Amino acid sequence: MELQTMLSVMKLENKDTGKLQEENQYLRSTREQVEVKMQELRSESELRRQSYEAELTSRVGKISLLERNLSKEEMLHTASRHEIGLLELKVKALEKAMATLQSAHPPGPPEPAEPDAPSRDEVAALKEKLRKAQAHIFSLQPYRTVLTPDRVKADFDGLTSGVSRWVETYVGAVADDEALSSQVLAHARTQPGALDLLRSGVRPERPDILQGAEWAHMAEPVAVAMVMDFFCSRVIRNDVAVGLTPEEQKMLDTMQHKLESDDVQPKREERTIRDWRAEAYISLFATPSYKAQRDRQVRALTCEVVEMFQLFMAALPSPASENKMYRQAQTMMVEPALRMSEAFHTETNRFALEFQHLDGYLAEHDRQAKLMTTSGAGATVPPPLEAPAARFTCQDLLQNFKTLDLATLPSSPAWREKARLKPVMTTTPALCFRQACSEVRNKAEPWQVLTKQHVFVAYGTLRQAAEGSRAGEKTVMGKLLSRTGGQAGAGNLG
């Protein structure tokens, strides 16, 4: 009986042992599967981390390249808004990538700290570079092309060249041909309205143009002076932008005056005000209404400047030539003048076209010369005409249009010598430039002369100047603009 009991117990123990062995085997198998799965997850996580690190490294290289390009070429800031958007997207993508990388690790034994430390440092450095690049891009505001003095000087030279070529084609060719000149004068006798249009091109503020028309061989310079004065008084102005409505112009002027007043505290420096002004004009110039108004103004200005010389159309061979006259006036003169006007309004620094009187410079020079000779300082020779020479380019009508360098004129005997230099007519104004101040100052930066004012002068005795203006026959422009003799409307048309 006891033996049977013992055998039963042994069988139960063997059965339990088998179950335990099976359970142990299952546990070992399950553990191995878990370890394999954990290893796979670790490998996948490591591969994903390496992939993100490679992508981050690539982006660091791209951003570093972008930062170098931005520091080398500031002209790229015209696309800065787009670049800022891209950089912000990259920052968000990097932050999302870091969050994904951190959440990709399954729970389990912690990863060693050493491999992750360089990645965190790289990401921190990358974010710092992104912040610096973004700050650099913001520092390049406003987002527009900066006009250099050389660029504006080249544009102004192109405008004056276009005006000279147009005048030479449609006025100079007539003035040099006696038959065509007679035809134009005959047309003026029968078309007083066209004659009035020509004479209205000489503003009361420019009597020197009528003075220049009295001299022989001055038809082209007189016409050039009339056209340039038209553009300077009507188009290229710093106070009014062609194409804006009066309400828009008044709004801009009011805001600018408010910013410049002492009521605004802290007081804004000139560069800040000019930046705001330029951005406001850029916004208005980009509107569809301005573009439509601009097209209308281009056509109106073209008609006005061509109809000023309507009398000369009588000498054109065909209506096709008349259409060409309008077309070339628009492309060679009106469009360049309007582009220059828009550039002046959308630039932080100041550009201006200025007419100055040479007489005023000469009078100031003579006054200083007299003070030197009467001061008892022993100075008997006055200084050379340096100030006028830096401002004016002169051509002497008494010397067949020879260029006259004011700085080389003899300065003795003192101030009486300079009375022989008589200004006759200005054709083109001086192009001036002034840097906008980045600080609040009571005194503005001085103006710089980029292109000198061109003046015709008569350098000789007063008698020589009087005889020179009467020598030779008047040009067709002189006869058309003269109001002496004959009827008031027709003038002296020879």
Give 410-457 pLDDT, tens digit per residue: 655 444 454 578 899 999 999 999 988 766 555 667 889 999 999 999
The reply to whether 11 falls in a domain is no
**pLDDT on residue 416:** 47
Question: Which of the four pLDDT bands, split at 50, 70 and 90, describes residue 88?
Answer: low
Number of domains in the chain: 2
Do 272 and 300 belong to one domain?
A: yes
Do 133 and 159 belong to one domain?
A: no
Do 33 and 164 belong to one domain?
A: no
Closest to 276 measured CA to CA, from 350, 347, 344: 347
Q: What is the span of the domain harbouring residue 130? A: 18-139
Q: Is the peptide bond before 288 cis (omega within 30 degrees of 0)?
A: no
Do 217 and 69 belong to one domain?
A: no
Question: Which of the four pLDDT bands, split at 50, 70 and 90, describes residue 20?
Answer: confident
**pLDDT on residue 319:** 80
SS3 state at 270: helix
The reply to whether 319 falls in a domain is yes
Q: Per-residue pLDDT tens for 117-142?
A: 557 777 788 777 777 776 665 555 54
**pLDDT on residue 138:** 52
- Of the residues 315, 350, 385, which one is the last residue of a structural domain? 350
Mean pLDDT of 142-148: 70
Q: Is the pLDDT of residue 11 over 60?
A: yes
Q: Which residues contact 143 (CB under 8 A, 6 or more apart)?
A: 77, 78, 80, 81
- Give the span between the Cα atoms of 423 and 458, in whole angstroms: 6
Do 257 and 314 belong to one domain?
A: yes
Contact 83, 137 (CB under 8 A): yes
Mean pLDDT of 348-361: 88
Mean pLDDT of 242-257: 90
Give the pairing of strands 453-459 and 392-396.
Answer: parallel
- Give the span between the Cα atoms of 173 and 467, in whole angstroms: 27
Do 284 and 333 belong to one domain?
A: yes
228: amino acid identity, one letter: M
- pTM for the whole thing? 0.68
The reply to whether 453 falls in a domain is no
Cα→Cα distances 360→120, 341, 375, 427, Å: 72, 28, 22, 18
**pLDDT on residue 413:** 45
Mean pLDDT of 94-112: 56
**pLDDT on residue 109:** 45
- Give the span between the Cα atoms of 460 and 418, in whole angstroms: 10
Do 264 and 157 belong to one domain?
A: yes
Distance of CA 423 to the CA centre of its chain: 33
- Secondary structure percentages of the chain, helix, strand, coil, to 5: 65, 5, 25
Residue 22 phi, psi (nearest 5)? -65, -40
- Give the span between the Cα atoms of 79 and 361, in whole angstroms: 47
Residue 432's DSSP bridge partners are 352, 449
Question: Which of the four pLDDT bands, split at 50, 70 and 90, describes residue 8?
Answer: low
More confident residue, 365 or 406: 406
Do 193 and 236 belong to one domain?
A: yes
Do 169 and 96 belong to one domain?
A: no
Cα→Cα distances 44→18, 101, 104, Å: 38, 11, 9
Contact 437, 271 (CB under 8 A): yes
- Of the residues 350, 377, 411, which one is the last residue of a structural domain? 350
**pLDDT on residue 488:** 40
**pLDDT on residue 107:** 47
- Give the span between the Cα atoms of 250 and 257, in whole angstroms: 10
Please measure the distance between the N-terminal and C-terminal CA atoms of the chain and give it in whole angstroms: 164
**pLDDT on residue 13:** 62
The reply to whether 441 falls in a domain is no
91: amino acid identity, one letter: V
359: amino acid identity, one letter: D
- Of the residues 350, 365, 380, which one is the last residue of a structural domain? 350
The reply to whether 165 falls in a domain is yes
Do 162 and 273 belong to one domain?
A: yes
The reply to whether 57 falls in a domain is yes
Do 78 and 225 belong to one domain?
A: no
SS3 state at 297: helix
- Give the span between the Cα atoms of 454 and 258, in whole angstroms: 37
Do 288 and 336 belong to one domain?
A: yes
Residue 324 phi, psi (nearest 5)? -65, -35
**pLDDT on residue 76:** 44
221: amino acid identity, one letter: P
Q: What is the percentage of the chain residues whose pLDDT exceeds 90?
A: 39
**pLDDT on residue 366:** 67
Cα→Cα distances 127→80, 92, 132, Å: 19, 11, 9
The reply to whether 335 falls in a domain is yes
Compute the Cα dihedral for 270, 273, 276, 282 and give only its sign.
negative
Mean pLDDT of 314-338: 91
The reply to whether 454 falls in a domain is no
Q: What is the DSSP letter of 243?
A: T
**pLDDT on residue 436:** 85
**pLDDT on residue 38:** 79
